[in-house]
A and B are shown apart, each in its own frame.
Chain A
């Protein structure tokens, strides 16, 4: 059979290396390169990328050097200490605890939960949506009824109840509790695109080429909706920072001894703090605004990179 091809083609094994080289010279740049050139073309997004990466690295590493239980001890002598002093860069709160240190550890906790939650819930939501949309029929029907049931549950109420029931919870259990509920939006979004995508001819072509269903789902369809997945992940990351922050603000998030962005913003509940002691809540609020803005800039670049007609970067 191989002879058959050799007979009718001028290409033979001796040309292989030369032709491969020729092809590589003409190769189209990879997706990573396209994304990078897109970042280079958009200066605010580049700045946003550095802020995000730098900040996450800073709080992750910085938090390792802070002794949290000791930091959280009440120090009456430092009651609402003014900011910009040698011991308290950003002042102290009503318990005399350093705002700057709380901010570092709190950001680590909040961002850690947001990243963990995004990874778990998006992975699950994407798989659920892809499988449901691709197989269609009874499988889709069953999976969508599970989805409908989950949507019916009042999410915030359930989380508050679960948090109250579980005796000793920390950021890991909190992440897991959140991820029970936060896969739903992603799964519906992915399913709707998968339904459209699996009708296309390239899926039929893969079937006639003998490719298995799982390979078609994750190697053929998933790359084609990757732009949607990337944008959804960045947006849900920004949203997930808000989820933890919001619950901690209400007092149902992390336990009181664990600082987080939410517990720090909760300082603003006190009118005194708002008018006089602005340093207790303003840094955390500013941080959330900057983080979410930066993430949305990065999301825009990724979306543009995925769609050739919107690109601003250098042509390939």
Chain B
């Protein structure tokens, strides 16, 4: 059984218009997505901004009200608040936020910030709690003198590590990492990512890693889901997604990764333009008449793509020939 099973999850926001402020339409931020997160793995959720990936993450951690669908944890649907509090759900599922500064209360000292989940879930004695906070600071590579400081006294990378320390404080089973490094510069990104990997190895934590940065996702994730307009368009292993992409949206995302090899500049430009051309010409093939993605079709045991069955088969065989 998977650690977390997400089934047909929908999050819709009502649009109110007119004199009576009636609901006339809805923004379908997340529109029926299904995937499973296994224990100990890093699951990547990729998509452009506004594709609903953060909303998905917030629903899984219980911050967003779900319109329909279910999220099963230990066989219990945790979209209901009563179930969450009965299970002490957030003891096992924590979150790392994108903006490290605004996710730490500026009026609280680091000790109180990291100890917050401990105070709510573990009820340790004063000394035990302080010891645990010091150990957590040590694990994320910060000194003990951070204990009585305020968040604004730290650099971005240090703050994000404090966020990581708070998330692992109760030894959770799953951490939702919502673009944890996109606000950091590159050298610090690597540092924080390596800390996250180290903690995963040592504590056996699963991550739901939400990002738009395909380079980072390749470094971190075994399984990847590509999200577009509130739906999943492609699910697969790292190899499936990076080497055998089927959906045009995945191909466009991959084409958008910047290349540093300037000698091949013209070739890269040509391949990007080719992908864009296919997208412009064949949009109707990849999306249904409403501009939405099709239901997922399995093309191999690990690989699914949101396309009509015939096109999926055809593309999969083409891809196979190119590889062969």
Contact = CB atoms under 8 A, between A and B. Distances in A.
B107 A226 contact: yes
A89 to B, nearest CB: 48
Contacts of A202: 102-106
A218 to B, nearest CB: 12
Interface in A4-22: 4-13, 15-16, 19-20, 22
A209 interface: yes
B239 interface: no
Interface size class of B (residues with CB under 8 A): 35 or more
Contacts of B131: 11-13, 16
23 contacts: A2-B128, A9-B135, A9-B138, A16-B131, A19-B147, A22-B144, A23-B146, A24-B148, A28-B148, A28-B149, A200-B102, A202-B103, A204-B63, A205-B163, A206-B105, A208-B62, A208-B94, A209-B90, A210-B88, A210-B91, A220-B108, A223-B105, A308-B152
A200 B97 CA distance: 11
Contacts of B107: 223-224, 226
A207 B104 CA distance: 13
A20 B144 CA distance: 7
Interface in B120-139: 120-121, 127-128, 130-132, 134-136, 138-139
B147 A220 contact: no
Given A23-B147, A201-B99, A210-B120, A9 B139 contact: yes
Interface in B47-74: 58, 61-63
Contact of B166 (A28, A205, A226, A308): A205
Nearest to B178: A201
B200 to A, nearest CB: 12
Contact of B132 (A5, A10, A22, A226): A5
Contacts of B166: 205, 209
A7 B202 CA distance: 9
Given A2-B128, A209-B94, 17 more contacts: A4-B171, A5-B171, A11-B138, A15-B134, A16-B127, A22-B144, A23-B144, A26-B149, A28-B148, A28-B149, A201-B99, A201-B102, A205-B97, A209-B90, A210-B120, A211-B120, A220-B108
Contacts of A2: 128, 132
A20 B130 contact: yes
Interface in A185-232: 200-202, 204-211, 220, 223-224, 226
Nearest to B105: A202
Contacts of B163: 205
A10 B130 CA distance: 15
B135 A6 contact: yes
Contacts of B117: 208-210
A4 B203 contact: yes
B24 interface: no
Nearest to A8: B202
Closest 9 CB pairs of A and B: A27-B148, A26-B145, A23-B147, A210-B120, A201-B103, A19-B144, A9-B135, A209-B117, A223-B107
A210 B127 contact: no
Interface centre among A6, A9, A210, A220 (most CB of B within 10 A): A210
B145 A25 contact: yes
A153 interface: no
Contacts, number: 121
Nearest to B106: A224
A1 interface: yes
A14 B94 CA distance: 30
B35 interface: no
Contacts of B102: 200-202
A25 B138 CA distance: 18
A149 to B, nearest CB: 20
B95 interface: yes
Given A202-B103, A204-B103, A208-B90, A27 B149 contact: yes
A142 B165 CA distance: 40
Given A22-B145, A23-B144, A206 B203 contact: no
A204 B120 CA distance: 15
B145 A23 contact: yes
A13 B93 CA distance: 28
Contacts of A1: 171
Contacts of B88: 210
A208 B95 contact: yes
A205 B135 contact: no
Nearest to A10: B138
Nearest to A223: B107
B113 to A, nearest CB: 8
Nearest to B112: A219
A239 to B, nearest CB: 27
Nearest to A7: B202
Contacts of B58: 204
Contacts of A220: 105, 108
B150 interface: yes
